[in-house]
A = this chain, B = another copy of it.
C-alpha cells in the first residue's frame, strides 16, 4: 500500500505516516486557532501548541504561517465541498434549495467553517498578496452557489424576478454577514430565523418557478 521510499529497510513507512500526522495536526491546529482566537491569534506558536509539536515544524512543513493558514482554508473547503454539492444537487425547487442552505449554514455555524473563511478574508487585509489567494479559494463556493441557484430557478419567471448571479452573490454574502453577527453576539437563533424566513419566501417563488416562460413569445425575433 505505502509506496516504498529510499532506505525502506525499517520504519520508513511509519515515520512517513507520523510526519503526515504532524502535518494534519498542524492543519487542524490552524483551523482551531482561526476559529477560536481569530487570524491575529493564529500564530505559529499558538498553532504548534494546539498541534502538540514544536513551533519550528510550522516552517519546516509549510514554509510560513500564512501558507499553513491557506492550507487550513483548503482543508475546510475540501471537507465541506462534498456536503455542499450533494445537498444542493438534490434540491429541485427554490424552497428545497433554501432549506438545504439553512441546514448547511447551521452545520457550518456550529462547526465554525464559515468562521475560518471570514477570518481569512479579513486577516488577508493586513497581509499584502494574501487577499488574492483567499479570493481564489472562495471562487469554488461562489460557483457552487451560482450553479445551485441557476438550476433551481431555471428559465422560469422567477429567474426574471431574481437573476441567478445576483441571488448567488446575495446568498454568499448572507452566509458571511450572518456568521459575523452570530459570532459577535453568540446568537445563532437570529441567523437561523432569517434562513427560515427565506424558506417561506422561497415557497412563493416555487409557484413562479413552476411557470415556464413561453419561449420568448412576446419578444421580437
Contacts and interface: CB of A to CB of B under 8 A. Distances in A.
Contact of A38 (B125, B161, B166): B125
Interface in A5-49: 37-41
Contact of A166 (B118, B173, B184, B193): B193
**Interface of A, helix, strand, loop or mixed by DSSP:** helix
A138 B184 CA distance: 10
Contact of A169 (B166, B175, B176, B194): B194
**Which range holds the interface residue count of chain A?**
35 or more
A162 interface: yes
A157 to B, nearest CB: 13
Number of this chain's copies in the complex: 2
Contact of A123 (B40, B135, B162, B190): B40
A176 B181 contact: yes
A41 B40 CA distance: 10
Interface string A108-151: 00000000001101111111000100110010000000000000
A163 interface: yes
B126 A122 contact: no
Interface of A: 37-41, 118-119, 121-127, 131, 134-135, 138, 161-163, 165-166, 169-170, 172-178, 180-181, 183-185, 190-191, 193-194, 197, 200-201
26 contacts: A38-B122, A40-B125, A41-B126, A118-B180, A119-B122, A121-B180, A124-B184, A135-B185, A162-B197, A165-B193, A166-B193, A166-B197, A169-B181, A169-B190, A169-B191, A169-B194, A170-B194, A172-B177, A173-B173, A173-B177, A173-B181, A173-B191, A173-B194, A174-B174, A176-B181, A177-B177
